[in-house]
Amino acid sequence: MKRIILSVLALGLSMGLMAQKVYNGAEPMKGQLKNSPKTSGLIYPESFQDCGSIDDPKFYVADGQSIYKGMTGTNSYGDQAYGQRYVGNYQITGIAAVMSNYAIDGTEEDMAAAIIDMNGNELALVEFTTADIPQMTVDPEGYLDLGFDLAEFNFSAPVSANDFLAAIYVPLLTVTPENELGGNIVAIASTEMGCWSDDMAYSLSMLSEGADYEWVSIYEAWGGAQNGVELDCMIFPKVSGTGLTEADVETLSYIFPNPAKDEVMVASSLTMERVEIVNMLGQVVFAADVNANSVKVNTAEMGAGNYLVKMYTEAGMATKKLVVE
C-alpha cells in the first residue's frame, strides 16, 4: 500500500486543470485483483501475449503519490474517458475493465462504457454509476488499498466493430470551496510501463487550454518520447464464444513469457477446459483440467527445448509453440 495525498491545497494545485502532463518516472500504485476473473470471452491487448496480465494491474500517477494525477483515471488534467484500441471483426456484447473507485464524500456519480469507432462515433453504450464498481479504501494514516477487481457491463444488443476503442467514461475531478477533493476518483488499471501494444491506449483529452476534447493516444497526450508513457489500459471488449473460427480461437489464446524459464502463463479469452503440453516426441509432459481463463505451469523441471501447448477451449482448440530455456 502507498500513502496518498488527497488535499489539493497541500500540493498547491489550486485546481490547476489542464496543466502540462509530466511523468517523473515514479513507481506505480500496485494492486491485486480481489477475485480471479472467471469471465469468458474477453479480448485482451496484444501486450498480453508477451508481458501483460490481468492478474498484475498497475495504476500510475504522475508524481507517484497524488491520486488525482492518475494517467488512467479521474485526474486534474481534465481527461474524460479512456479507451483501449482493438482491431479485428468482432460481435461485441459488452465491456469489462479492471478498475476501482474512491468515494471521497460518499456521493454517487455517473459513468459509462462504450464501443467507439476511430472516427469518434459511439456504436454502443451502457450507463452505470461509481457505486457499481469496486471500491478503494484508505486507512486513518492515509494508506491506500486500490481494491482492483473486474467490473462487467453488457450492452442491450451486440454490436459489430473491426477497429474501435473499448472505452470507459470517468467522473471529472471535484474540488470543494475549501480546496479539498470531493466526489469520486476512479482508477482504471494499466499494464506495467513499457508493456504496451504500441500506441493503442487512448484518452479523451484537451491537449491545450480552450481546445476541443479529442481521442488521442495516451503516449501522445503525455508528451510522446519525452515522458515515455508506454502502457495499455485494462479495458476489454466482451465477445460471444459462438461462431468463432479456428483462427479466432488462436488469436484469443496466449502463452507468456515465451521463451520461458521457470514458469509460463497459459491464458485465453475463452474458458479453457483442458491444457496439455507436449514435447517434440509427442509425449505429454503436462496435462490438467482447468475450467478457467488462465493457468500457470511450472516449466523448471522440463528440459530445454521446443514444446506444443494445446488449449482446449469452449470454442475449439488452440495450439501454441513454447520454447523452454
DSSP 242-299: TT--HHHHHHTEEEESSSBSSEEEEEEEEEEEEEEEEETTS-EEEEEEEEEEEEEEE-
202 or 176, higher pLDDT: 202
Most confident of 15-19, 77-81, 289-293: 77-81
Confirm if 205 and 213 have CB atoms less than 8 A apart: yes
Residue closest to 29 by CA, chosen among 55, 63, 53: 63
Confidence bin at 210 (pLDDT 50/70/90): confident
pLDDT value, residue 19: 58
User: How many Cα atoms within 13 Å fall on the side-chain side of residue 82?
Assistant: 29
The Cα 295–Cα 273 span in angstroms is 11
What pLDDT does 143 receive? 76
- 52 SS3 class: coil
Rounded Cα gap, residues 186 and 55, in angstroms = 19
String of DSSP letters for 152-192: EEEEEEEEEEEEEEEEEE-PPPEE-TTSBEESEEEEE-BPP
Query: What is the residue type of 194?
Result: G
* Average pLDDT of the chain to the nearest whole number: 88
Domain boundaries, the chain: 2-239, 246-324
Phi, psi of 25, rounded to the nearest 5 degrees: 80, 10
- 246-324 CATH pick, 3.40.50.620, 3.40.1210.10, 3.90.700.10, 2.60.40.3080: 2.60.40.3080
User: Which of 102-106, 111-115, 206-210 is least confident?
Assistant: 206-210
- Percent of the chain's residues with pLDDT above 90: 59
| 272-321 tens-digit pLDDT | 999 999 999 999 999 999 988 889 999 999 999 999 999 999 889 999 99
Q: Kindly report the pTM of this predicted structure.
A: 0.84
- Please tell me the predicted confidence (pLDDT) of residue 182: 86
Spatial distance between the Cα atoms of 98 and 186, rounded to a whole number of angstroms:
11
Are 63 and 24 contacting, i.e. CB atoms less than 8 angstroms apart?
yes
Q: Is the pLDDT at 234 greater than 90, yes or no?
A: yes
Nearby residues of 254 by Cβ (< 8 Å), 6 or more positions away: 44, 48, 49, 265, 266, 267, 268, 320
Split at pLDDT 50, 70, 90, the class of 121 is very high
SS3 70: strand
pLDDT score of 6 more than 60: no
Amino acid residing at 91: Q
CB 170 within 8 A of CB 110: no
Nearest in space to 57 (alpha carbons), one of 188, 174, 183: 188
Closest to 201 (Cα-Cα) out of 227, 235, 172: 235
